[in-house]
């Protein structure tokens, strides 16, 4: 899949009320919010063990595989329920928080 197709799929999930699933080489099934996406990079805010602290990260689209997490569903109560949500697989270890 090329970057333009990835951008189109990911951009539809830019919504503070929705979460996506993120997999790294060393960690799986993390919850994140997509905060931005361009033809080159995707911006994510990963949830952490602390309720009001998020890990803000940016990844090149070339390192991201886009798929669907059929085990989860959308959260926004004002939208129709949709089974399956975006799954991003990133070909690297999860960066540590500073």
Cβ-contact 71, 58 below 8 angstroms: no
39 closest CA partner among 86, 4, 2: 4
Residue 40 three-state SS: coil
pLDDT at 98: 60
Q: Where are the extended beta strands (E) located within 1-97?
A: 20-23, 30-37, 41-47, 54-60, 64-73, 83-90
The residues, ordered by sequence, that sit 6+ positions from 57 with a Cβ below 8 Å of its Cβ are 43, 44, 45, 46, 95
Both tokens assigned to 38: 């361009």
Q: What is the pTM for the complete model shown? A: 0.88
Dump pLDDT digits (tens) for 72-86.
777 767 777 777 899
Dump pLDDT digits (tens) for 29-61.
999 999 999 999 999 999 988 878 999 999 999
């Amino acid at each position: 899949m090329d970057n333009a197709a990835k951008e189109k799929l990911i951009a539809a999930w830019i919504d503070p009320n929705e979460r996506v699933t993120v997999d790294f080489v060393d960690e799986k099934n993390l919850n994140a919010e997509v905060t931005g996406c361009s033809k080159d990079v995707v911006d994510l805010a990963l949830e952490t063990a602390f309720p009001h602290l998020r890990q803000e990260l940016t990844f090149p689209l070339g390192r991201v595989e886009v798929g669907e997490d059929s085990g989860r569903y959308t959260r926004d109560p004002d939208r129709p329920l949709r089974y399956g949500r975006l799954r991003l697989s990133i070909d690297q270890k999860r960066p540590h928080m500073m």
